[in-house]
Structure 1
Amino acid sequence: MNFESINIWCWLIPLLVGVLCAIFGYLLGKGSNTGIDHSSELNSLKDLNAKLEADLAACNKKMTAESSAVISSEIAFNKSAAKAAFGKNIKPDDLKVVEGIGPKIEGLFHNYDIKTWKDLSKTSVSKCQEVLDSGGDRYKVHDPASWPMQARMCYEGKWKELYKWQVEHKRGKL
């Protein structure tokens, strides 16, 4: 056996196999793509995407319109109804209308950024107690358990119900 001839075959055989595999792979790949056309599927997906984007834009526009309608539908203060129920003039968002809240306690709530009936109606009783505790020992006698409920009646304009409730519950206690 001649080692010089083996050395040439060691290079020639892998080279021939590589060239044949490349040609075979090219022909095989070229033949599989000729029968399939994806352009119609791509166009239909583009149309679907455009439709969905239009639906999303319409939905966002509707949500913006509804949120502005909710903001504009705030409950209006009816001064004459409040005066009819209480027999005196009531100022909008006057926390002193709530039984048990005076000018100093109202100031404490203002320090906590609770300045409207709506704010007070959304405040928990424990938060109201925290506001009272911030004023010191002199406010320990007050019970804020009914204040958020009374504030909600004020905010919703239920003046007759509020007056009736305050008459039935002396000093605003439940």
Structure 2
Amino acid sequence: MEYGTLLLATLEPCWLWWLILSALAFILGALLGCLLCGNKKKLQELETENAALLARANNWEKDYVGLKYQHEQTEAALKEARARLNSCEADNRVLKSKLEKQKGEGDFALGAAAPVTVPSSSEGEDLKIIEGIGPKIEALLKEEGILSWQNVADASVEHLRGILSNAGGHFRLAQPDTWPRQAALAAAGEWEALTKLQDELQGGVDKG
């Protein structure tokens, strides 16, 4: 009897410790499981947020490429518009200079010069831009098939002088020596060079 009581007294603390340790292990396992579940949920949320950020970044990159292309197109259009504006300003200076000289000097071969007008495509180009050519000489040249600045540039001075000579009258007084040079600049669109050349002329003739 004493032996049995002693055995029970010896085993009872061991059983109690085992129960305590089991309870602690259960509690720790439960806490660890909750922690892992919470971290897993948070990780999924982070992955979802990361995917959304990547999608937004891709959209921003596409928008940037599109805006860059539009910017390049706008720059090209602006450059072309500036070139056209410069050309128009040069044309305006040439026409203004021509008009002022015609008003001040008149057409030395045919009297007063007519205002510079822009002809229709069927009439050819405005040959009166060439200093020394008035409306009547222009009409005469166009009757001979010389309709454009390039036609005048390609014609020899002798050929032009022959046309004027055959027309007789005041036409013979015209001197076409500089007409091909002026016409070549006009045909090439070199308006500033044409204006500079005409500043050195007097009625279409070299001042020297």
TM-score (norm 2): 0.43
Residue 83, structure 1, aligned to residue 92, structure 2: yes
2:164 pairs with 1:132: yes
Following superposition, the deviation at residue 101 of structure 1 comes to 0.4
Aligned match for 1:144, one of 168, 171, 176? 176
Matched residues in 2 for 1:79 and 1:90: separation? 15
Partner of 1:111: 143
**Cα gap change, 1:173 to 1:145, in 2 (>3 Å):** same
The residue matched to 1:145 in structure 2 has which SS? coil
Aligned to 2:129: 97
Partner residue of 1:157? 189
Take 2:174 and 2:126, find their aligned partners in 1: how far apart are those partners? 18
Between the two structures, name the one with larger relative contact order (CA 8 Å, sep ≥ 6). 1
Per the alignment, residue 152 of structure 2 pairs with 120
Counterpart Cα distance in 2 of 1:134 and 1:111: 13
| Mapped contact 1:86–1:163 kept (Cα < 8 A) | no
Q: CA RMSD in A?
A: 2.2
User: Following TM superposition, by how much is the alpha carbon of 1:148 offset from its aligned partner in structure 2, in angstroms?
Assistant: 0.6
Tell whether the 8 Å contact from 2:95 to 2:129 is kept in structure 1 after alignment.
no
| Cα displacement string for residues 117-140 of structure 1 (whole angstroms, at most 9, x for unaligned residues) | 011100000110011112212112
1:171 is displaced (CA, Å) by 1.3
After superposition, give the CA deviation of every residue in 1:56-114 in whole Å (9 maximum; x if it has no partner): xxxxxxxxxxxxxxxxxxxx9x4442113443777372100101100110011011100
C-alpha distance in structure 2 between counterparts of 1:82 and 1:90, whole Å: 12
Partner of 2:71: none
- Whichever of the two has the greater Rg, that structure is 2
107 and 86 in structure 1: CA distance in 2 versus 1, 3 angstrom threshold: closer
Structure 1 window deviating more from structure 2 (123-132 vs 80-89): it is 80-89
Unaligned runs of 5+ in 2: 1-83, 100-115, 120-124
Contact 1:98–1:150 under 8 Å retained in 2: yes
Unaligned runs of 5+ in 1: 1-75
Counterparts in 2 of 1:53-64, with a 5 A limit?
none
Check the 8 A contact 2:182/2:194 in 1, yes or no: yes
> Do the aligned residues in 2 keep the contact of 1:117 with 1:154 (CA within 8 Å)?
yes
Count of residues in Structure 1 that have an aligned counterpart in Structure 2: 98
- The sequence identity of aligned pairs, in percent, is 33
* Residue type at the aligned position of 1:172: G
Change (3 A) 1:108 1:83: same
